[in-house]
Structure 1
């Protein structure tokens, strides 16, 4: 079945609702950070993160089901996938959600924590909403309609000279020496191009918003998940940026590898330096225990 509605604009309501829900979820995260982080010891913070993650995902998915009717939409969420639900994008209207992107930041009070909500239909991303909740900034974009921070139009930087660029990246959670070695080798090569600087905010969603606003020229990572980057992908594209695989091929939401940049010139220059390592696809079949 095709889910194109005959209405003038079938997804406007869903988009507006996503913005409202993201803000509501962000307030919950902010309050949890203020009240609970201060009193918890480091050993119980892991517990707090899990609780906050689950609570926020429940709020988001619960609100969406209530608004759009149980069973009409599909959901891919970090917490539900962790519990063993499949991570496969079908043609049905699908919400792709990261309730708390930047959980390590959240625990430490490092000021970048985001709620990321994306929506896809017929396997195409329709819109993305990212609420950077400690900064109180709402990033949003709809397919073909531009990207915004709060209500101001945003666009990528026009730098084409790699020497004048800032590149943002993350190190992921896999600390195996061979992967860490490749990550640092890539960073060393990029730093020696030379570029203006290397950064990392600790959240893929925020990193993509920084590309979209022109604060940095590119963000790349291997090992991210679809829920980290789905909303950001729409925002970067609508802000005039490009998305590619780390090998220079087309961007694939499920591949766990991505370069997002202000333009093709910067993207291709970065791709030359990336040492690729393997990451199992998000939509790989679940291995039966």
Structure 2
């Protein structure tokens, strides 16, 4: 496998994400054509599909040998397999429910993983003009300003993000509600913005101290993972950690 030029990959991705951001910024104000996927609250719009197609098309042209995992492609039946090959992991609109309601916490998330490790991460909220970026070993940034996690270690002083998710399976809903009920008395504050990628980006920004959740997909976290790591934070699987 040829050496991957991280800077070139980052530059191409950044340009494409900026273009895709224009689509999201204009569409969020308009009436949407909404479809459902796994549940009545697991939504997809024509903008999700258009943005993913735009990103994959542009990246394929620049990097014909790279692989792709896209949320809407997987939803349409494509396999979700991460190999050692350079793989772009894309969530065209993370926070589709927010997007549908014109709630401005929505973003485009693009991560490049090579040999199963995060190399490039971009999370862009085009409504609030927040561009979070990271290249492995070079730090994490918001609109060019270097980021650092809060460093807060006292859970009682921590502002924590969590999420209800898009499943309405009663057992899962009960589990999520139990987790939140157990967390609430132990933390300083609790917030939910409806976007895993934005949650992780805000942890990197130190706007919150932690994000805790179950059931996120790889496209929700592929870019945010690198943002948090490059900002000095940690990302763990609580089940593995507990073991």
| Higher relative contact order (CA closer than 8 Å, sequence separation 6+) | 2
2:210 match = 218
1:67 match = 62
2:40 match = none
1:188 match = 181
Q: Are residue 132 (structure 1) and residue 121 (structure 2) matched? A: no
- Alignment check: 8 A CA contact 1:3 1:92 kept: no
1:200 match = 192
Q: Are residue 118 (structure 1) and residue 111 (structure 2) matched? A: yes
Separation (CA, whole Å) in 2 of partners of 1:205 and 1:147: 14
Q: Are residue 244 (structure 1) and residue 236 (structure 2) matched? A: yes
Within a 5 Å distance, the mapping from 1:21-170 to structure 2 comes to 21-34=16-29, 36-37=30-31, 44-46=33-35, 49-69=44-64, 72-170=65-163
The SS at the match of 1:22 is: helix
1:267 match = none
Question: Could you say what the CA RMSD is over the residues aligned between the two structures, in angstroms?
Answer: 1.7
How far residue 151 of structure 1 moved from its aligned partner, in angstroms, is: 0.3
Give TM-score scaled by structure 1 length. Answer: 0.78
The SS at the match of 2:28 is: helix
Structure 2, gaps ≥5 residues long: 37-42
Q: Are residue 16 (structure 1) and residue 11 (structure 2) matched? A: yes
How far residue 49 of structure 1 moved from its aligned partner, in angstroms, is: 4.1
How far residue 123 of structure 1 moved from its aligned partner, in angstroms, is: 1.6
Q: What is the number of equivalent residue pairs in this alignment? A: 237
Spell out, residue by residue over 1:32-75, the C-alpha distance to the aligned partner (whole angstroms, 9 max, x if none): 112x22xx5xxx43389431111111110111112223xx1111
- Alignment check: 8 A CA contact 1:3 1:121 kept: no
Separation (CA, whole Å) in 1 of partners of 2:230 and 2:194: 23
How far residue 122 of structure 1 moved from its aligned partner, in angstroms, is: 1.5
- Alignment check: 8 A CA contact 1:167 1:197 kept: yes
Separation (CA, whole Å) in 2 of partners of 1:115 and 1:248: 29
1:279 match = none
The SS at the match of 1:75 is: strand
Higher Rg of the two aligned structures: 1
Separation (CA, whole Å) in 1 of partners of 2:152 and 2:212: 17
- Alignment check: 8 A CA contact 2:85 2:114 kept: yes
How far residue 180 of structure 1 moved from its aligned partner, in angstroms, is: 1.4
How far residue 22 of structure 1 moved from its aligned partner, in angstroms, is: 1.1
Separation (CA, whole Å) in 1 of partners of 2:115 and 2:179: 36
Give TM-score scaled by structure 2 length. Answer: 0.93
